[in-house]
Structure 1
Amino acid sequence: NDFSVLATEVSRRVFKELDYHQEARNAEEFLGLHRWLGFVTAPRWCPEYSGPEGTARVLTTEWVSGKPLAELPWRLRRKAAQRAAEACLAQLLVTGLVHADPHEGNMLYTKAGKLAFLDFGLVDRLRPCEMQWFAQGMSHVAQRDWHGLAHDMLDMGWVTLPTKRNRRPGSLRPDWEDCPFEEFTTALARELDKDPDAQQRLGALVAALQRLSKTYLMLMPTYIASITRTFATLEGFVGAVDPNFNLYAVAMPVTLRRLMSPGTTPAREALRSSVLDPDGGVRWQNLEALLNTSSFQKLGAPQAAAAVGAGGEPRPGVRPLAGLLGSAAGNTVRRLLYDMDPRKVL
């Protein structure tokens, strides 16, 4: 909540946008990290036609043959918007390299049916623990597990421990006092239960938390502020195309990939204890619940409807576990298979 820190971050990002060689490196890294999705691309840059590093005033890239999303037929535009959401969620939860300005003007739909991202002057980079927290938080929102979400917020640095309550809500000079964490959890559940939009959109969720911050002390780490801005932009244009858009329903397959490739030691230990007993036996019920794309069976009617398109056709979706086992991120799953007792499986 230190506005000088936020102002410093904004100025730092403005100057970053002027470094065209860094923008080119961002685009190359983005393309390499997201090739596994199969429907995402980015233009390659032409260094021989760009200025020297440090003084370049122009960035030249290859030509992308495609159409702006606004010019697509409605049905195709809806599909492209859905893929944009899936791609941005993969960035947030799997790779940690997030395009910071995903509006329609920064995307093209190519003749090959791929979504080309443009303009990499600004990207956000998340640590493994931050990706893990976002994945757990989205899963908890989808399941309406507000107690779990409150603990995610604690991990993120969004709320403090001890939790602080304002004796004078709405006052310009708050008077903070300690209060039980469970009191905050109850207040969080009450606020989110009465706001259906907060259960579908990240922007609405943040707005609900802002209302709650009049009573309970909340902090805003810079990475959360950046991601909130990014996804507010995304939700704005996707929601205009698809009024039933539910970020959390779309996030579930990608969330599964992150939960199966945890980025922190506590999360790896939690996954192991959840699916294997101490003797290497499989906890089948827990494994089945996890592989149920984390939450679809617990979603209500509006959320479940968001998983299919008009006329009941399934929406385009990522394959959450494709290529995971053989990748570097699949080391936790490989370890689970190694520790599994085959005598208790067969």
Structure 2
Amino acid sequence: FQALAELHERVPPFPREDAMKIIEGEFERPVSQVFSYISDEPVASASFGQVYQGRTFDGALVAIKVQRPNLLPSVLRDIYILRLGLSFVRKVAKRRSNISLYADELGKGFVDELDYNIEADNATKFLDTHSKYSFVMVPKVLKQLTRKRVLTMEWVAGENPRELLSLAKGISGSIAQLSEKQKLDAKARLLDLVNKGVEASLVQLLETGLLHADPHPGNLRYTPDGRVGFLDFGLLCEMEKKHSRAMLSSIVHIVNGDWASLVYDLIEMDVVPPRTNLRRVTMDLEDTLGEVTYEGGIPDIKFSRV
């Protein structure tokens, strides 16, 4: 997980001059007429774009997300290759179901992510839905400074989970040696972030039904006022009430090793297709997972195997 997180957050940036050309192209005027300030280097770089810190002409500090150049052809090529690969796997494995459809669904999500107007709408919807929860922070979108390949949002100050974890271990890039108090304070902030992160996840799953679908460490912040801040709204997931209840029920049944009931939870979540041999699925779960064992009173469950 740590290696994947580092890979996700350390994508090499593309040249600043390319980013400025994209901003000028989207707004059809010089960058100096759009923002009063843009940082020389990106503060974050990912596979689809990179983020600069900037200021508006009224002095507001903002995050400016700029899409990578020529991204659409690359995404379409990769989805096409994935579709060919899945078709080959289907033939080799002699699968009846058309698993190439997974590539189509993935491709639709990726293409939607390339339109930052959609992400802006997602962020606004997520903010409106969760604004009543005082421990959740969602940045506001500046619609007048947002286009298809440029997204401008309120700047979120704070520490990400990996920074807090390093500080708790006494590792800091700016301080030679952290005191015990500094390490304890970092541990307390990290624990508070974890608790509020879990609570925010349960709120999304069980109350609002609107889930942030990409909550990796780079997309989370622990703000100075002790809230959990969410970033990057390219992917949201809306859950029906019956799906939320079934997912909660499935966790209970997995922990208890009640595989027959778990199958019916999967049906409620629309995971198991019609005309499936339910007895066979139940037997496969029992054969693969067997009895649930406990270590120190805690069930030892490998959810990836489930």
- TM interval, shorter chain, is 0.5 to 0.7
Task: Give the Cα separation in 1 of the matches to 2:99 and 2:133.
Answer: 37
Give per-residue Cα distances to partners, 1:28-52, cap 9 Å, x unaligned: 211222234321111001122223x
Alignment of 1:271-286 (within 5 A): none
Residue 193 of structure 1 aligns to a residue whose secondary structure is coil
Alignment of 1:177-188 (within 5 A): 181=279, 184-185=281-282, 187-188=284-285
The reply to whether residue 123 of structure 1 matches residue 215 of structure 2 is: no
Residue 61 of structure 1 aligns to a residue whose secondary structure is strand
Give per-residue Cα distances to partners, 1:206-232, cap 9 Å, x unaligned: x323xxxxxxxxxxxxxxxxxxxxxxx
Where does residue 84 of structure 1 map in the other structure? 197
Where does residue 170 of structure 2 map in the other structure? none
Where does residue 193 of structure 1 map in the other structure? 291
Task: Give the Cα separation in 2 of the matches to 1:141 and 1:154.
Answer: 15
Give per-residue Cα distances to partners, 1:144-193, cap 9 Å, x unaligned: 433322221233343466654xxxxxxxxxxxxxxx72x64355345152
Alignment of 1:156-235 (within 5 A): 156-159=269-272, 163-164=276-277, 181=279, 184-185=281-282, 187-189=284-286, 191-194=289-292, 204-205=302-303, 207-209=304-306
Equivalent of residue 142 in structure 2, options 46, 66, 91: 46
Where does residue 176 of structure 2 map in the other structure? none
Give per-residue Cα distances to partners, 1:82-102, cap 9 Å, x unaligned: 322332232223222111111
Equivalent of residue 2 in structure 1, options 98, 101, 107: 98
Q: Does the 8 Å contact 2:293/2:300 carry over to 1?
A: no
- Higher relative CO (Cα under 8 Å, sequence separation at least 6) belongs to 1
TM-score norm. by structure 2 comes to 0.53
Residue 116 of structure 1 aligns to a residue whose secondary structure is strand
Cα–Cα, structure 1 residues 63 and 148, in superposed 2: closer, same or farther, change >3 Å? same
Alignment of 1:50-129 (within 5 A): 50-51=146-147, 56-72=148-164, 73-129=186-242
Larger Rg: 2
**Structure with more helix by fraction:** 1
Cα–Cα, structure 1 residues 43 and 152, in superposed 2: closer, same or farther, change >3 Å? same
Give the partner amino acid of 1:70.
R
Deviation of the 1:103 alpha carbon: 0.7
Equivalent of residue 154 in structure 1, options 267, 277, 280: 267
Task: Give the Cα separation in 2 of the matches to 1:4 and 1:196.
Answer: 39
Give the partner amino acid of 1:24.
A
Q: Does the 8 Å contact 2:242/2:268 carry over to 1?
A: no
Task: Give the Cα separation in 2 of the matches to 1:40 and 1:200.
Answer: 31
Cα–Cα, structure 1 residues 194 and 138, in superposed 2: closer, same or farther, change >3 Å? closer
Cα–Cα, structure 1 residues 115 and 100, in superposed 2: closer, same or farther, change >3 Å? same
Q: Does the 8 Å contact 1:192/1:208 carry over to 2?
A: no
Where does residue 79 of structure 2 map in the other structure? none
Cα–Cα, structure 1 residues 161 and 9, in superposed 2: closer, same or farther, change >3 Å? closer
Task: Give the Cα separation in 2 of the matches to 1:192 and 1:153.
Answer: 18
Q: Name the % identity.
A: 33
TM-score norm. by structure 1 comes to 0.48
Give the partner amino acid of 1:26.
N
Deviation of the 1:5 alpha carbon: 1.1
Residue 253 of structure 2 aligns to a residue whose secondary structure is helix
Where does residue 126 of structure 2 map in the other structure? 30
Deviation of the 1:70 alpha carbon: 2.0
Task: Give the Cα separation in 2 of the matches to 1:160 and 1:62.
Answer: 43
Alignment of 1:302-341 (within 5 A): none
Give per-residue Cα distances to partners, 1:114-170, cap 9 Å, x unaligned: 001000011112222222221221233344433322221233343466654xxxxxx
**Structure with more strand by fraction:** 2
